Amino acid sequence: MINYIKNNNEGISIFSSNEEKIVKGTVLGFIKKKCINNLFSYEGYVKACKKVLKISSLVPVVISKSEVYFPISRVKDYENIFINYLAISSLSINKEQTIITFFDGQTIKIDILKGKIERIINNIESILKYKTFPESKCR
């Protein structure tokens, strides 16, 4: 399972099971390809989340039952990291920094305000709830 993805000077680093794999491309390109491979476009998904769920920034992307990625900053920022929410074992949140521990024991320390990470988690839960109850979509 992928824990998180970030850009580097050679392409992108994909962190999973305590190993780093480097591939060509960008983080946003990787996420867009994952979306297409699961029969939807990233742009259409973001537009739908904004319209239906009123999520206007840092839109989490539910790709599959094992992949729910969220950005920690603007998606086009070079320093942005996409974290797989479903790989997270625990969060240690301070005022300005969050330590994320993944199920495989790997950790990452990110500079993100407490309110921002809480808002992202609430948005993920809203999207998952919406996608879990398809009967509510036809009203």
- What is the rounded average pLDDT for all residues in the chain? 92
pLDDT for the residue numbered 19: 93
Per the confidence metrics, is the pTM higher than 0.85? yes
Listed residue (23, 49, 56, 21) closest to 35, CA to CA? 49
What's the rounded mean pLDDT across residues 129-138?
67
pLDDT of residue 133: 62
pLDDT surpassing 70 at residue 21: yes
Q: Can you say how many angstroms the Cα of residue 23 is from the centroid of all Cα atoms in its chain?
A: 18
* pLDDT of 113: 86
| Alpha carbon separation from 135 to 79, 80, 129 (Å, rounded) | 39, 35, 12
Q: Could you write out the three-class secondary structure of 66-90?
A: CEEEEECCCCCCCCCEEEEHHHEEE
- Is the confidence at residue 63, as pLDDT, over 70? yes
